[in-house]
Amino acid sequence: MLSPGMLDVPAVPGAPRSPALPRRPGKAGSPGAPGATGAVFGGVDATGAAAVAVDLGDPKLVRSRRTRLRILVAAGVLAVVAGLMATRFREDVVGSLSAVPAPSWPWLVVCVVASGTFYVAHGVSVRAASGLRMGLGIATASQLAAAAANRVVPAGLGAIAVHLRFLERRGMTRPAALAAVASIKGAAFLVHLAGIALVAGTLRGSGIGEAVTRPVRMTVNGLGTGPVIAGLAVVGVGVGSAVAHPRIRARARPALRVFRQHLGVLARSPGRTIVLVSSTAATKICQVTALAGAVWAFEGGLSIASVAAVYLIGSAVAGAAPTAGNVGALEPALVIGLTASGATGAAMVAAVLVFRLISYWLPIIPGVTALAMMRRRGDL
């Protein structure tokens, strides 16, 4: 073994000594480089080996690799299942799709325009409820951003968070912003009930209401009346206890006071109230028009009153689903209701899927763009 001292070159007698220079670490895998003391194995020096060991033992990296492995395994299993189902039910699927007529593109354009107008009407309602002076463009962009957030967080909480942040950035306090959002939700609830009352005559003898609410009744009958009543009682006791708690009441009292003041301002401003209610009603009309366009695109010969009844009742029933945007609950309700109205089942499946694609999924692209733009400008 050679010691490090034996590798030093003796100085030449009489030659001037140069000042000592700091040693630099050599490159990995170059034993002759200055500072490399021979700690090399397989082309990796000791420092590199230690770094590799630390990286391999990083818990975050290990979890990331495990997550990717699970995703790959799940994707493989789904691919196998999809392949087997496609092979097994190919003839049935082809037979069902052959019964679906080719869509009429002008009616799909109507669906697209109505879906876009929905966000403009929603922006008008935000301006009316808040009373702030803002352009219609930025108000509409806030609704697109709220829609993008609402695709991730269920129960509309994502949209509420974006609305609060946007209104606070425009100068409103948190209680005032909450009051504005609550007034929009309250107006939407009242307009929805009024819409159901207007189309109630369409429901008589059509079987729409029974078809849409049948899954709920089947669920209640399957669980039993006793468990359902017990569950409702538990929920009622929990909500009542929370409302009666002194700390919660103390925190909610300022917000309720501001909300009452906000309602008083709206009552003294009939113009704002009319704009709020009208724009909220316009959002419902846009949604019904978009669904009707998708239905008529696939030759579903239904009246606008029947489509409105199916949408209003189906969305009310599907509102109990805890998923974001009622995904997985609204689609079956609409298909069942439209089919009960006299349309073809296969065609209505295609119509509802196209309607949800245009009105729910496609706005994610401009919504994410609006979200990034508003965050960059400081509006969120």
Task: State whether residue 304 is helix, strand or coil.
Answer: helix
pLDDT tier for residue 58 given thresholds of 50, 70 and 90: low
Are the C-beta atoms of residues 276 and 183 closer than 8 Å to each other?
A: yes
Please determine, for residue 23, whether its predicted confidence score (pLDDT) is greater than 60: no
- CA distances to 27, 118, 184, 210, 278 from 275, rounded to whole Å, are 72, 15, 11, 35, 5
213 vs 195, higher pLDDT: 195
Are the C-beta atoms of residues 367 and 148 closer than 8 Å to each other?
A: yes
* Encoded tokens for 78: 């789904």
Range among 80-94, 271-285, 304-318 rated most confident: 271-285
What tens digit of pLDDT does each residue of 30-49 get? 444 444 444 444 444 444 44
Please determine, for residue 242, whether its predicted confidence score (pLDDT) is greater than 80: no
pLDDT tier for residue 4 given thresholds of 50, 70 and 90: very low
User: Please, what is the angle between helix 174-198 and helix 157-169, to 10°?
Assistant: 130
Q: Measured on CA atoms in the order 53, 54, 55, 56, is the torsion positive or negative?
A: positive
Q: Measuring CA to CA, which residue among 364, 362, 341 is closest to residue 292?
A: 341
Task: State whether residue 44 is helix, strand or coil.
Answer: strand
> Once rounded to an integer, what is the mean pLDDT over residues 346-360?
90
Neighbouring CB atoms inside 10 A of 214's CB total 16
Task: Report the pLDDT value the prediction gives residue 48, as an integer from 0 to 100.
Answer: 45
Task: Report the pLDDT value the prediction gives residue 204, as an integer from 0 to 100.
Answer: 60
235 vs 122, higher pLDDT: 122
Task: Report the pLDDT value the prediction gives residue 332, as an integer from 0 to 100.
Answer: 86
DSSP 12: P
Task: Report the pLDDT value the prediction gives residue 263, as an integer from 0 to 100.
Answer: 72
Residue 40's beta-bridge partner residues? 45
**Residues 67, 69, 70, CA angle at the centre, nearest 5°?**
65
DSSP β-ladder status, 40-41 and 44-45:
antiparallel
Q: What is the C-alpha to C-alpha distance for residues 48 and 25, in angstroms, rounded to an integer?
A: 12
Task: Report the pLDDT value the prediction gives residue 142, as an integer from 0 to 100.
Answer: 92
DSSP string of 343-378? --HHHHHHHHHHHHIIIIITTHHHHHHHHHHHHHHT
What tens digit of pLDDT does each residue of 319-343 get? 766 666 667 778 888 888 888 887 7
Are the C-beta atoms of residues 311 and 287 closer than 8 Å to each other?
A: yes
Task: Report the pLDDT value the prediction gives residue 49, as an integer from 0 to 100.
Answer: 43
Range among 67-71, 147-151, 373-377 rated most confident: 373-377
Question: Which residue is associated with the tokens 């695109």?
Answer: 297
pLDDT tier for residue 1 given thresholds of 50, 70 and 90: very low
Q: What is the C-alpha to C-alpha distance for residues 119 and 132, in angstroms, rounded to an integer?
A: 18
241 vs 357, higher pLDDT: 357
34 vs 74, higher pLDDT: 74
Q: What is the C-alpha to C-alpha distance for residues 220 and 234, in angstroms, rounded to an integer?
A: 16
